Amino acid sequence: MPRGIIESINKRITVPIAKRLKYSPYITPNLITWISFFLSGIVAPFLILKELYPLAGFFVYLGALLDSLDGDLARERNQTSTEGAILDAVLDRYIDLFLIASLTYVSQCWVWGLLAMIGSSLVPYVRAKTEAVGKKSVSTFGSRDVRNLILFLGLILSLPCETLGVLAVISNLSAIHRFYFALKKEV
């Protein structure tokens, strides 16, 4: 079930595609995960290093759609698995770090880049750790969909340093928000 506006918009695109791909024997959820990684984690950072920001932004958004599509296809086929979830989560972290590292290198905004890396890593980590100890994690305003939208818009506008600054602030506030609620005692 979609948790936010951005995810709802993406689902309007990915769910119908997943329904059409349901019976395709050659396209698997894991294949889509790897294609998403290639586009967002390899192609987009390469384009960022070449300072082709709007084109990189396009690949970030395309990769984000595919990142949503892999799960939708797995659910359509009733093929969800812990291994698929782990693959998706780990590759998502690599994508985040490769994108932020390439933006940091090109813009030379080292402090914002470091803070963006920390925040982007802590948002999913706090959620995973909270859920691993049996507590419910709260939804937050700095989800991966939001961070992808920030990257997309920042790249389309060719603002690498500003993008890192916004990512750093949003992701760290989001991680702190989740952390605060994770530490609250349940009543």
Mean pLDDT by 10 residues, the chain (187 residues): 72 90 92 97 98 98 94 93 94 97 98 98 94 89 91 98 98 96 79
Return the pLDDT at 73.
Answer: 95
Return the pLDDT at 29.
Answer: 94
129 vs 133: CA distance, rounded Å: 6
CA-based torsion, 98, 79, 126, 9: positive or negative: positive
Return the pLDDT at 3.
Answer: 64
Return the pLDDT at 4.
Answer: 74
Return the pLDDT at 138.
Answer: 87
Say what the pTM is: 0.91
Return the pLDDT at 2.
Answer: 43
Return the pLDDT at 47.
Answer: 99
Torsion of Cα atoms, 17 then 9 then 75 then 122, to 10° = 130
Q: Which domains does the chain have, with CATH numbers?
A: 5-183 (1.20.120.1760)
Q: Residues with Cβ < 8 Å from 144, sequence gap 6 or more?
A: 67, 92, 96, 123, 124
Return the pLDDT at 156.
Answer: 98
